[in-house]
Chain A
Amino acid sequence: MEDQQTEALVRRCVAGESSAWEEIVRLYNRRIYNLCYRFTNSPDSAQDLTQEVFIRVYRTLATYDIEKGAFNTWLTTLTRNLLVDHFRRGRQDRVTDSIDGSLGDDPDSMALSDRLRDPSPSPADRLASQETQKMVQRALARLSPDLREAVILRDLQDMDYKEIAHVLRVPEGTVKSRINRGRMELARLLSRNKRQASNE
């Protein structure tokens, strides 16, 4: 059902209907931004890359064939290719090395109005949760790109193994292995950081 709606949207967009394109952007911008942010660990880079992804989608939308795969898989493949290009350009070095750097504009941190409005968790719990999220994001940024993209697509983008194998162009067994190693490496990094923090 969702695929049919997306197909209709794509057809309208290819026919030149600007409202259809706007709808596609509104539907998928959050997903693409999150994927880029989790991979780059930089809000600015994520914003630039998201724009770049949609510009490329806009130019190549006519080449999309719905019989070859879901629109979401096609979009994720395109995003992943841009992320790989971005990583190769070397910008990643500045971001991943800053595991102890400040995250003043961290999107994970809530706005003050949201904090005041949110009654459920206590401030201490929320603060602990925010700190944990920052630590996880930093550890994620330290994973190798192969492992990082695999765990992001599986655990954050909720894609199945077949789709991930299609996006990464590797067998499903390799996808599962990368996911396992990525999760394990992340847990080890975090436990190492906790040990270092407790020793200090």
Chain B
Amino acid sequence: MNKDLQNGLSCSQFEALLAEALDDPSQSLPAKTREAFEAHRVNCPDCAPLFAETREGMSLLQMLQEVEPPRNLVHNILAATSRAEAGASVLAQGAQASWWERLMRSLRLPRLRFLHSRFVTSFCMAFFSLSLTLSLAGVKVSDLARVDWHPNALRKSVVLQYTQIEAKVTRYYDNMRVVYVVQSLSQQLKKASAPAQNNNNPNKDNTRPDQQNRMVVPGTGRPQEEENYSQERDAGELQEARSVPATREMTDPTMPTQGAQL
């Protein structure tokens, strides 16, 4: 921009007056200033096209006509503000409520959840299980107050407890192994001494009382196996059994006995 004075007005002054000069120079500018402005506009080669472009732009903008808003715009605005009013009234109710009402309102949902029967049952069961586990483990609630909750201390305590339990379990199984070893040795000793006694007293009946009634199978020397209800009897035994009424049948008065039928 040319900063030289042209007819007593610099280009920057000309630009500052441009807007007002384009509006209505007869009212917005004093007569002397208006004359200086006009003289500068005519003589300045930079400001003359600037003035022409600005005036053209202004006339183009003022040529733009007002557009018609959509027909439903007012209706939409009123509907939207009525919705906003409804929301605001709810907010206003919330703001006017006392602190106790707001507190109870905020606690209402959690309280209902808390009092739900399933939740209460689960909570009781969890508490019972925890207290039972703690009492079985020998933990007292009063001891918890003396516990050092520092992570390193807790880690040491857990390691110590684990080592002690591991030692107890190892000792228990070592003792059990000793017991089983002694028991198996005594059984072996018994088995080893039994054939020697039989050989020394072949005629002596050293069988147990429940083995005394066993029949020896001829030719094999093995004792005859005990009968059970799944084994079949020979025909003679069955015939003998038919001749004797069964105990179950005699105890049932409603049923005729086999002997009567025969």
Contact = CB atoms under 8 A, between A and B. Distances in A.
Contacts of A176: 16, 18-20
B80 A161 contact: no
Interface stretch (B53-61, B175-183, B210-218): B53-61
B28 to A, nearest CB: 10
A184 B54 contact: yes
B258 to A, nearest CB: 105
B57 A187 contact: yes
B13 to A, nearest CB: 12
B134 to A, nearest CB: 58
Nearest to A182: B57
B77 A180 contact: no
Nearest to B85: A58
Nearest to A30: B69
Contacts, number: 116
Given A54-B81, A186-B61, A187-B54, A180 B70 contact: no
B61 A55 contact: no
- Contact residues of B: prevailing secondary structure: helix
A137 B63 CA distance: 11
Nearest to A58: B81
Contacts of B85: 58
Interface string A120-156: 0000000001001100110010000000000100111
28 contacts: A26-B74, A29-B69, A30-B68, A33-B67, A37-B67, A43-B67, A47-B69, A47-B73, A50-B73, A51-B76, A54-B80, A55-B77, A107-B67, A132-B63, A133-B64, A133-B65, A137-B64, A155-B58, A179-B19, A180-B54, A182-B57, A183-B22, A183-B54, A183-B58, A184-B57, A186-B60, A187-B60, A188-B53
Interface string A151-195: 100111000010000000000010011011011111110100000
Given A59-B84, A155-B58, 18 more contacts: A21-B81, A22-B74, A33-B67, A33-B73, A37-B67, A38-B64, A47-B76, A55-B77, A59-B88, A136-B60, A136-B61, A140-B61, A151-B57, A154-B19, A173-B16, A180-B15, A183-B22, A185-B57
B74 A25 contact: yes
B239 interface: no
A142 to B, nearest CB: 13
Contact of A186 (B22, B57, B65, B73): B57
A17 to B, nearest CB: 13
Interface residues of A, number: 45
Contacts of A73: none
Interface of A: 21-22, 25-26, 29-30, 33-34, 37-38, 43, 46-47, 50-51, 54-55, 58-59, 107-108, 129, 132-133, 136-137, 140, 151, 154-156, 161, 173, 176-177, 179-180, 182-188, 190
Nearest to B82: A18
Given A33-B73, A54-B81, A183 B61 contact: yes
Nearest to B56: A187
Contacts of B66: 30, 34
A156 B15 contact: no
Contacts of B165: none
Nearest to B79: A51
